Each structure stands twice: as structure tokens, then as C-alpha cells.
Amino acid sequence: MDTGSPQPTRSLHKFHTLSLLAAGVLVLATACSGTPAATTEPTATLAPTEAQTTPPTAMPSTAEPVKIGIVAIGGGPFALFELEAFSGAKYALIKLAGGQSAGQESQDAVTGATIAGRPVQLFFGRTDASPDVAVQQARRLVEQEKVDILLGPESGDEGVAIANYAKTQPGVTFVNGTSGAQVTTMKVQAPNFFRFGGDGAQWMAGTGTYAYKTLGWRKVAILAEDYSYPYTLAAGFVAEFCSQGGDVSKRIWVPLDATDYASYVAQIPSDVDGTLLLTGGTNTTNAVNAFEQIGGDPATEMLGGSSVMDETTFATGDPVVGMIGGAPVPLGSDDPAWTGWVNDIHAVYPEAPAQSLFTALYYNDMQAIIEALTQVNGDLSNNHAAFNEALANLQPTFPTGSVTLDANRNAIISAYVTKFTKDGDQMGFELLKTVTNVDETFGGLFSADSPDPGRDSPTCQAGTPPPWAADF
């Protein structure tokens, strides 16, 4: 199996959201966060007061609109995720379905988009990363707005809840956003729920082997936010690193609303070779600052999870330059498919970070919807039977790489080991390694009978490494 790039490639892109962060944008957390603390913005402020839609262009009266709902985090500590997710999904309609942007705000319309001759009408749902609000918004979009397709959510616990809700709505198709909890597809297995981005464990493929073989680490600590998405990220790293003889000596779980990381960083054992950091947004900044205060070097003594390896972390600055981590998008690649897409979306939505798994994966999800609907000529009859079959058999080539879906409708993906770089005043990424054909079993290390990823699961056990480990 060819899992490596011939030489590390470098691609530097300007960070387009520093001004927003400097202005005090609230916490940016992980791709797939858990339930926020009680200080989260009240639910009542999250739902739009009336349906916010993209009005269809004039079409023949026989052309019924395709109604698509998009769910993303729009309140509480992860509010900026809304801009990334919605911009990615809307840009797919602009690039692939003839749409035009009506503005730069998250919920500004896309006009004129058509798929298989049917106008596209968008409805937006804001969540706060909690499963209850996610289902509330899904119910509003499905049962009141009567959407045909629901795209989302972003958060891990949200995804589990919506996948279970999908089982009660056989006449609606659900396409996951960036929700990365493993259980969503491996165990819930809703027949009308499709995930084209894989789960968080898959996103970390190769990082454990890189730590063990390339960095020579043998003993590691984990410092992570305390909810389902970091549990799944950690599961992939632990299974891979420990299978080769590595030891995870301590797992430190931090409440999601914690701002002072000093007491948690102080728990990192002094005899570890490094620490796996599974945070996002300002939590990453807080953790990195606290680590520096005890004399640590984040660039060489920390590895980053998939939300650490994100444009939003550029705000942390020099301390992370040189840090290595895992991602589901090819950060730093010089592949024209990727660099061209990054440049093109910046031209339309300059404030939306393109080098973000949120932006890229929501784009991919909408691309999959467009391709499958086109294949079936817009047919959504018989509880979307033809459309769902087309989605299940789709083999799309995204800007991030090609995927197929397994029997649980979860993607078999490529994962990327990447590094933060800096050229002058511009931060960027360098792609170090590409791991192909990563499935949800993680090369056979996980199954539907495995314990759910959690604070202590999986255990650290030596065994047979995943197949890609041989290529490092």
C-alpha cells in the first residue's frame, strides 16, 4: 500500500480570521465537541425567529424545489464554526450547481442553484453543540420546514443524536457534517444517514506511528477536552501507538469550559516523551501557554489532534510552529485539486478559513448530495430509495481526496500527518505523510463489539499494528 508522499510538500496560506479572533470571537473548539457547560448561550437565542431560506430562481411550475437544511454550531463558545460550515456547503452550490452568493454572512443566501433541473432552497439551523439542541433544530427543519435533506451536524454528541433521530424519519436523507464520534455509524447504523468525512479515529491515522517510529516516542500523555470527539481522536492514536509497543501513561481530561489549563498541564508526568493535545480554538491557546509556563516546548513536545491542526490555531503564533498532528484534510499539500480549491473559495468567501476541516468537509458533503441527486435526475420518490442508493454507491473525488462508503455508510478516507510552518509573517502547513484507505475498523483494531471510545477506552495494548504502519 502506497501511503506516503514522495517528499514533504509545503503550502503557505494567509490566515483570514485573525481579525475576527483579535476582535474577541468566542472560543473555537473541536470539530466534534460534546455538550457545553451551563454558561453556553441560551437555547432560545439559537433558533432563527423565522425560516431563513435561499429563494429559488424562477423555474417551470413542474420543477419542485429540493429543500436542503444545513445544521451547524451558531451559538455559545463555538459560534465561528457556523461561518466555516455554512460557507463550505454554500460554496459547493456555487461551484457545482450554478449558484451565486448573496453575501458574506453565515446565513446569507445562495441564489440560482439548481440540481437536475430542480431549484435549491436552503434552510439553516443553529445549534450550541449539545445533542438536545441539535435534535431540536433537526426536528424544526424536518417536521416544520419539510426539508428533503439534512446536512450536519458538526459535533460528535450531536451526530449520535441526529443519527438516532434519522431512524424515525425514513422519508428524509441525512448527510453528516463533521460530527466525528465513532458510534454514530459503527453502532447506530441509521440506514438513511451517510458520513463522507469519516470519524475522529480515522482522522488520526498515521499520527501514532509517526510518534513511535519517526519521533522515537515511547511514553505519551494525553491532554484533552472531556467529551466524545476527543475520546474518538484519542482512540485512534492509542490503538495505533500502543499496538507497536508504546505506552500512554496518563490521560488528562479537561472540562470544556475550563480557561485555566495550568492545573491540568501540571498533571503531565515528567517522564513522558511527549503529549497528545486534543483541544480546539482558544482552548488550544490556553493549553499551549500553560505548557510553556512550566518550561515545555509545544512545537517539539506536543502532537496535535485534528482541531489543533487548523487555521484557527494560527492565532497561537510561534509556539506551535513545528508542531505535528493528524487531519482529515491535506493541509500543506501542493496538489492542484487542493490548492485550487483553497484559492477559489477564498475568492468567494474570504473570511472563511479554507484550511479547516469544517469548511472542507461541509463542502464535500454538499458535493456528494449534488452528485447523487444528479445521478438520479432529482428523484426523491419512494422514501428517497434511488437517491440513497446513489449516495451509498457514490465514489466522489473531493478536493481532500477520493472516498468510498462502507456497509454502514461511513467513508473510507485518506488521513494526513501535517506540521505547522511559518514563512515571514505567514503561518501555514507542511504535509508530511498521507495514509490511504483508512476505514472505520482502523485496520481491524475496532469493531461494533468494541467498547465505545471513552476516558479509559481503548486500553493501551501491544498487538498487530494497522497495515499503514509498515509504510513509515
Residue 73 scores a pLDDT above 50: yes
pLDDT at 283: 87
pLDDT at 77: 56
For range 57-61, the mean pLDDT: 41
Measured CA distances, 30 to 77, 304, 307 (Å): 11, 12, 5
More confident residue, 18 or 151: 151
pLDDT at 282: 80
For range 181-193, the mean pLDDT: 96
Task: Give me 436's grid cell.
Answer: 490511504
Residue 53 scores a pLDDT above 90: no
For range 257-286, the mean pLDDT: 93
State whether the Cα torsion 455-240-29-287 is positive or negative.
Answer: positive
Residue 225, classed as helix, strand or coil, is strand
pLDDT at 27: 31
State whether the Cα torsion 144-146-147-148 is positive or negative.
Answer: positive
Residue 51 scores a pLDDT above 50: no
pLDDT at 467: 97
Query: Who contacts 187 (Cβ-Cβ below 8 Å, separation ≥6)?
Result: 448, 452
pLDDT at 74: 83
Q: What is the pLDDT of residues 368-388, one digit of tens each?
A: 999 999 999 999 999 999 999
For range 125-140, the mean pLDDT: 94
For range 190-209, the mean pLDDT: 98
Measured CA distances, 335 to 5, 355, 431 (Å): 11, 14, 11
Percent of the chain with pLDDT over 70: 86
Q: List beta partners, residue 405.
A: 411
- Judge contact between 455 and 251, C-beta under 8 A: yes
pLDDT-derived band at 76, boundaries 50, 70, 90: low
Would you list the domain boundaries of the chain? 25-198+334-412, 202-333+414-471
CATH topology of domain 25-198+334-412: Rossmann fold (3.40.50)
- Judge contact between 148 and 172, C-beta under 8 A: yes
Q: List beta partners, residue 223.
A: 252, 277
What is the DSSP pairing of strand 274-278 with strand 219-225? parallel
- DSSP letters for 36-94: --TTSPPGGGTS-SS--B-PPPP--TT-PPEEEEEEEE-SGGGTTHHHHHHHHHHHHHH
* pTM (predicted TM-score): 0.87
Q: Which of 50-64, 185-199, 212-226, 411-425 has the lowest mean pLDDT?
A: 50-64
Q: What is the mean pLDDT of the chain?
A: 88
pLDDT at 423: 95
Closest CA to 133 of 86, 178, 165: 165
CATH of segment(s) 202-333+414-471: 3.40.50.2300
Percent of the chain with pLDDT over 90: 80
Q: What is the pLDDT of residues 412-444, one digit of tens each?
A: 999 999 999 999 999 999 999 999 999 999 999
pLDDT at 256: 82
